[in-house]
Homo-oligomer: A and B are copies of this chain.
Amino acid sequence: MAAHPVSPLAPKSFPDLPPVAGVRFATAEAGIKYKNRTDVLLMAFEEGTVAAGVLTRSKCSSAAVDWCRATLPAGVARGLVVNSGNANAFTGVRGRQSVAMTAEIAARALGCSTGEIFLASTGVIGEPLEAGKFAGVLDETATRLGDTPWIEAARAIMTTDTYPKLTGAVLEIDGVEVRINGIAKGSGMIAPDMATMLSFVVTDMPVAAPVLQALLARHTRTSFNAITVDSDTSTSDTLLAFATGKAALDPIAGLDDPRAEIFGQALADVLFELAIQVVRDGEGATKQVSIHVEGAVSDESAFRIAKAIADSPLVKTAIAGEDANWGRVVMAVGKAGEPADRDRLAIRFGDLTVAKDGERAEGYDEAATSAYMKGEELDLTVSLGLGAGKATVYTCDLTHGYIAINGDYRS
């Protein structure tokens, strides 16, 4: 893989996440595809850890996704194995065998059953993944488990990512400190469909699996499912959450527990921050763009219009060129296939109204709008004037960098 310059939107520093009781991890260099970097992450959870997950809806989902789909209903986790460099997707019978063998090796190393092992793979699609490569590596890795530093976990799962993605939250519930740590990877083939590329969140909050699942699904909608880099949905999208239950609190047994709201909001913040980090490391990205749609007939309709704008190559290239080309936003609204009345449409770039009532706004100031476009974080708002539906989609621009990265990614 060619090395690509670090995204100009990369964070200036990375958080030093605290340990989460009940989880230890280690990384290793299995040499699956990359040289001189880690490409395997092994996490071990103490007994009593529950799991929840959101997986891709791709009709060509990877073998690891299929494995998680089968494992999730039990909601019990003791281990997680993630590898980068090979997605083990579209690898047929050998892919399924590889997944089963990896789970067996991990279960033996961690002393649990294979049904308690979760798996995720990311990288090239269609290349068989040699499970043999994991055998010695996982055994050895299991002898080095620790509870920090989380940035190493984030590093081991990167592919074309130019920086590791991690964040956390520490909250207090009934006087007890509760922690949530999360990692994610991007950065192309990003248009998650009820999931994301890969993201893993761990908390020590005692919470029943169905509650964790409900909270995860709810907050995925406005985080990972509200981002798009290139409209391409991965075969491997996987978001898993693990709750070790080690915080000294009674478990949240139902969504009607008032603590579900407090914990859920902290979880939402972590998911949102990770999702935004994925956008900011979108392949070739130089700008982060929030597309707000309001006044739609429903939230779902607003989302689809926002997605059409965020996925439009013409809108994205205009933003890359710092061109306040709001006509292309009109085009994208028009093609979305959702209810829209051209003659009620208004568009704002930041606070600047550029179009109103179906035409260029009176007093439209091209110079001010062009100046606004030079910013690194942009807000585009479309008001449809039809109803109360609203949604926001987060995206990045489309630059020469994207073409360069994807014209020679596999070779």
Contacts and interface: CB of A to CB of B under 8 A. Distances in A.
A403 B407 contact: no
A400 B284 CA distance: 12
A89 interface: yes
Contact of A342 (B59, B314, B321, B343): B59
A232 B334 CA distance: 10
Contact of A330 (B56, B126, B320): B126
A211 to B, nearest CB: 30
B403 A330 contact: no
A298 interface: no
B89 A327 contact: yes
A378 to B, nearest CB: 15
Contacts of A230: 313-314
Contacts of A337: 57, 59
Nearest to A342: B60
A312 B402 CA distance: 13
A61 B334 CA distance: 7
Most chain B C-beta atoms within 10 Å of own C-beta, residue among A93, A318, A330, A339: A330
A359 B91 contact: yes
Given A60-B334, A90-B342, A403-B400, A231 B313 contact: yes
Contacts of A193: 335
B410 A232 contact: no
The 9 closest A-B pairs by CB, nearest first: A125-B327, A92-B359, A60-B334, A321-B407, A58-B334, A233-B335, A317-B406, A126-B327, A59-B340
Interface in A296-354: 311-314, 317-318, 320-321, 323, 325-328, 330-343, 345
A189 B318 CA distance: 13
A238 interface: no
A323 B90 contact: no
Contact of A313 (B338, B355, B402): B402
Contact of A92 (B57, B320, B357): B357
